[in-house]
Amino acid sequence: MNAGTRFGEMADALEAVEIFHDGAFHLYRPEELGFGYRQSRLPPGGIVTRVRLRLKERPLEEILKRMAEVDAARKGQPKRKSAGCAFKNPPGQSAGRLIDERGLKGLRVGDAMVSLEHGNFIVNLGRATAKDVLALLERIREELPLELEWEVWP
């Protein structure tokens, strides 16, 4: 996966990725791994063991200002435990908005709930199990007019 937000993604900072597969360690440049929106072409069964990032030095004031901007832009996201966005955004649309428009905020299975702050987040109210989360994700997909692709799971 290529984790990221509208502010940037991991592929932006990658210089090299070490992956263990086929019984050996292999070093890849980012362009060899086909990074895109929420995707990459890692070797099947490969395990990322190390990454080398190329970071840009910036004055502290600039870094703090940027952090504040990003934090302000993400205020609508839940502060409870979650794994981030549950579904990929369909082309030209927002999965969160589609879920919101169906009135699914607050929908629960066990202790897994569609966040009240943002429809594309599943939050754990305390004792949610993986089974609860998967069942809730399937309920959401059943309610929508198009099939959403899971963000976290293959």
Active-site residue, from 38, 80, 102, 108: 38
Set 85, 97, 102, 141: catalytic member: 85
Strand 82-85, strand 24-28: pairing: unpaired
54 is catalytic: no
38 labelled catalytic: yes
d(CA 33, CA 43): 8
Dihedral-angle region of residue 22 (phi above 0 means left; psi in -120 to 50 means alpha; beta otherwise): left
Half-sphere exposure of 26 (CA within 13 A, CB side): 16
Q: What is the greatest pairwise CA distance in the chain?
A: 49
Q: Which residues are catalytic?
A: 38, 85
